Structure 1
Amino acid sequence: MLKRLWIYSKEMYPVIPRLLLGFIVFGEIYFIILLNNGITDFHLGVQEVVGGFTVFSFLFWLRIADDLKDYELDCRLFSERPLPSGRVKKKDIITLAAILITFTTIINFIFMNNFGFFVFLYTYGSLMAIWFFMKHKIQKSLLLAVVTHNPVQLILNLYIISFTCIKYDLEPFTLINALALLTLYFPALIWEVSRKIRAPKDETEYVTYSKLFGYKKPVYFVLILTLVDIVTNIILVWNLSTLSVILLVINVAWMTERFLTFIKDPEKYKIVDKVERYTYIQETIMLITIPVFLYFGRIYFF
């Protein structure tokens, strides 16, 4: 079974990169909130490690749940994947999910100060795994699926924010916390929609937004989301680095041009590839802002 799980993780959820991503997601929200509240005396310890691991573990659980939910569809459209191909068995990933959830629950109960938010997060994730008891409706509707499933990123962000506010005795209902709640939600939604936008010649029986609405309307939708998202990022780093503001504006200007080019010529490239590059640059700017501010203070350009 271990060999099969290695195959699964390697192809579907590479452990090291995704573990790093878990700590990046946790750290970005954690430090952005603290710095915007004027806190630079951080009390780092095992709780932050548990928090970062929880992000990794939860997203791993969602990956497994998606593969189990979409098994029949994947057998038709993505037969080369580990589970549909038979290289990995259902019981393998079910066992892995059980171990992950049990271990993550135990360490959160022992070490974290926001166990109620943890339970809320995993309850929502579990409801997603069973289609909120409405599989016959949600599975057939792309819009219902995104409306019911995508908010889980908000709940994951809330888990991080709640821990940070409780640990440092911060006011929970603030503009900064609201923006932090959204800062990694919008990129997730933008990516989710973008990966289901295709040029007309690339459409298959797989249901996409471009198949339902044409490729132009979904692109305009993600363009608007991207512009709204960048506003939340700019507000969060405004008091930390105007250099970061400039870099964020340059990046979103480039992405806007990519969106408009795709609208003119949808066969030029896959829009999701450009969205992923944009997101990596955006989140890198946000992350680098934190140590630069701590070391140099606010860098003024205007």
Structure 2
Amino acid sequence: MIKRLNIYLKEMYPPFLRGSLSLILFFEIYFITLLSNHIVPKSIGIQEFVGVFTVFGFWLALRIADEFKDYETDKINFPSRALPSGRVTKKDLKVLLIIDYAIIIILNLVFMNNIIYFAALIIYGILMSLWFFAKKYIQPNLVLALITHNPVELILDYYVISFACIKYNLPVFTKTTLLICVTLYFPALAWEISRKIKAPEDENQYVTYSILFGYKKATMFVLLVILCEMITTNLLVYKIYINTSAYLISMLMIGILTIRYLWLVYNGLEFIKNPKKFKLGKRVEIYLYVTMLLVLVMEIVNLFIR
């Protein structure tokens, strides 16, 4: 079983890559929550790293749940993947899922201060894995699946936000925390849509947004989502740096973030002109990772200049 699970993780959920992303995402949200309230974190300890592992473990749980949910269609559309190909079994993944949930639940009960928000995250994740008890309506409807499943990213963001706010005696639900949440949600939404946009020649029986709406309209919607993210990101940068002596740094960050946005707009327009040139989802994924790193770097720089 261990050998089979190692094959699965290597192919479907590389621990080092996903662990690095979990670390970056957690501290991106954690620092931006504090800095937007003009608070410098006093210490980083075991709670923060339990939070990082919770992000990692929760993403893993969603990945495994998707294996079960999409098993029949994956046998047709992605037969070479670990589970459909038989290189890992459903029993293996059930054991991994139980261990994963057990670890993050125990760690949160012992160390974390935001159990209610953690419970909301876990309950929503379980409901997602069960198609909210409406599989026959949600599974064949890509838009309905997006509406019901994608908000889990918002709940995950609020899990981290709530930890930071409770630790530093801040209100959890404010205009600022809402701004943070939607700003971080937009790139995830853009990626979720873009990875299901294909060139007409590449379409098959796998339902995509490009089949439903056409690849041009679907791509323009992705660019609109990213425009919203660009606006809210700049608002956050302004809020973080207002009343500080780092005006020039804030202008530099806004400039860099704008260039990043223009790069994706250029790629989106290139994809519309020639959809066979590259996969849009890969470019949006790069945009997502670069955004996370840029914001985290901005936050760390801000900590040193305060």
How many aligned residue pairs are there?
297
Counterpart for residue 193 of structure 1: 193
Q: Distance in 2 between matches of 1:64 and 1:173?
A: 31
Matched letter for residue 2 of structure 2: L
5+ unaligned residues in a row in structure 1: which ranges? 298-302
Contact 1:194-1:271 within 8 A present in 2 as well: yes
Q: Distance in 2 between matches of 1:22 and 1:274?
A: 20
Q: Distance in 2 between matches of 1:243 and 1:296?
A: 15
User: Is 238-247 or 48-57 further displaced after alignment?
Assistant: 238-247
Contact 2:25-2:292 within 8 A present in 1 as well: no
After TM superposition, list the pairs within 5 Å mapping 1:132-171 onto structure 2. 132-171=132-171
Counterpart for residue 281 of structure 1: 290
Q: What CA RMSD, in Å, does the superposition of the two structures yield over aligned residues?
A: 1.1
Secondary structure of the 2:84 match is helix
Matched letter for residue 192 of structure 1: E
Deviations 1:36-81 (A, max 9, x none): 2111142211110111100000000000000111011111111111
Contact 2:193-2:222 within 8 A present in 1 as well: yes
Counterpart for residue 62 of structure 1: 62
Matched letter for residue 248 of structure 1: L
Shift of 1:267: 1.9
Q: Distance in 2 between matches of 1:87 and 1:281?
A: 33
Matched letter for residue 80 of structure 2: E
Residue identity over aligned pairs, in percent, reads: 51
Deviations 1:76-102 (A, max 9, x none): 111111100111010001100001101
Deviations 1:115-147 (A, max 9, x none): 111111000000000101111111110011101
Q: Does 1:243 align with 2:247?
A: no
Q: Does 1:256 align with 2:256?
A: no
Q: Does 1:11 align with 2:20?
A: no
Counterpart for residue 181 of structure 2: 181
* Match 2:304 to one of 289, 295, 302: 295
Counterpart for residue 211 of structure 2: 211
Q: Distance in 1 between matches of 2:81 and 2:292?
A: 29
Structure 1 runs (4+) greater than 6 angstroms displaced: none
Shift of 1:183: 2.5
After TM superposition, list the pairs within 5 Å mapping 1:71-150 onto structure 2. 71-150=71-150
User: Is 89-98 or 36-45 further displaced after alignment?
Assistant: 36-45
Matched letter for residue 139 of structure 2: Q
Matched letter for residue 28 of structure 1: E
* Greater RCO structure (CA 8 Å; 6+ sep): 2
TM-score normalised by the chain length of structure 2: 0.94
Q: Distance in 2 between matches of 1:60 and 1:198?
A: 26
After TM superposition, list the pairs within 5 Å mapping 1:21-32 onto structure 2. 21-32=21-32
Secondary structure of the 1:262 match is helix
5+ unaligned residues in a row in structure 2: which ranges? 242-249
Deviations 1:251-275 (A, max 9, x none): 1011111112222222222111211
Q: Distance in 2 between matches of 1:173 and 1:117?
A: 12
Shift of 1:277: 1.8
Contact 1:237-1:286 within 8 A present in 2 as well: no
Counterpart for residue 244 of structure 2: none
Contact 2:186-2:225 within 8 A present in 1 as well: yes
Q: Distance in 2 between matches of 1:261 and 1:138?
A: 33
Secondary structure of the 1:223 match is helix
Shift of 1:242: 2.2
Change in 2 beyond 3 A, CA 1:62/1:16: same
